[in-house]
Structure 1
């Protein structure tokens, strides 16, 4: 009986130890890849857009997996809400000291940072893409009903979120850092 377990345990050279070493190496390579993509947001979002396009082409060609697509839509809608919501909700923050809110600068801090939003969305699309290779996930549903329900859910959720933005006077989007030029700077010769 003892010989049966030899080679499966964590002893040196065992299968479990080799699997852990392989997993550690794969995690390190993934982290290096993620570290390289961090300063390139445009390229990351373009790659996600291409991935989503490929997913929709696959679903269109297969004419199925609508329930997986609906699940992806709901999950990514939830991610979007976290992305455009403030980290601290002004309604539940509690009473604040009286200040002149017109002169006080409060930066917008997201509940879900942009990089984590991109990573979670990419991971969800990859998982959904992988699910399209297994016919057990192709449940028969009437897709127009799912689409209509998702559009209705998106509309109601965004309406609520936009009202919250207007009420608490915040904008979750900024398009880069403002650039200031000094008076003493001279233009470089061409």
Structure 2
């Protein structure tokens, strides 16, 4: 009796070790990709183009394409939104921490709800899943695709209009281009 329990425990431990090792290898690969943002986004863009090319050439899987587009739109909105939304700030509009509006105020960096690396990783994984779905005919549901395109364009415009109004109302810019960069006293460029 004791040998059977020991055997099952040790085999369970072996499986755990294998999954732990796979997880560590996966994380190591992700860590190596982290500093190469242009290369990562070029690869993700190529993957999205490959997916769209497959959908276009095969003339099908419009539901998969639509679902992937909606998911990517949700990821993009989370990428543009601050981690602590000023609209739902528990301190109210005039009591809590705010973004600086004058030169003398303290600089607080923009912290995203969805960081850039997780944004890239989610887009890459979802596009790979969508590309895999195009190899199975049961995902090819017949639909009138122009309606899906028009609905997606309408949804995109309404969502982005709301997001831009939110950005203007709370005076934040989610991009780091053209923001002032401070130097230490005595340093030169």
TM-score by length of 1: 0.81
Q: Which range moved further: 176-185 or 102-111?
A: 176-185
User: Matches of 1:111 and 1:49 in 2, distance apart?
Assistant: 22
2:134 corresponds to: 132
Query: 1:4-43, aligned counterparts within 5 Å?
Result: 10-12=8-10, 14=11, 19-43=15-39
Say which of 132, 149, 155 aligns to 1:153.
155
The answer as to 2:95 corresponding to 1:97 is yes
Change (3 A) 1:64 1:21: farther
Query: 1:1-190, aligned counterparts within 5 Å?
Result: 10-12=8-10, 14=11, 19-93=15-89, 94-95=91-92, 96-97=94-95, 101-102=101-102, 103-104=104-105, 105-175=107-177, 178=181
Q: Name the SS of the counterpart of 2:114 in structure 1.
A: coil
Q: Name the SS of the counterpart of 1:91 in structure 2.
A: helix
Tell me the number of residue pairs that the alignment of Structure 1 and Structure 2 aligns: 178
Shift of 1:21: 4.2
User: Matches of 2:188 and 2:110 in 1, distance apart?
Assistant: 31
Change (3 A) 1:97 1:59: same
Task: Let me know the Cα RMSD of the aligned residues.
Answer: 2.8
Change (3 A) 1:86 1:142: same
User: Matches of 1:77 and 1:65 in 2, distance apart?
Assistant: 18
User: Matches of 2:16 and 2:137 in 1, distance apart?
Assistant: 31
Shift of 1:59: 1.0
Change (3 A) 1:122 1:184: closer
Residues 4-56 of structure 1 show CA distances to partners (whole Å, capped at 9, x for unaligned) of: xx9xx8444x5x66654443333222111100011111111001001111111
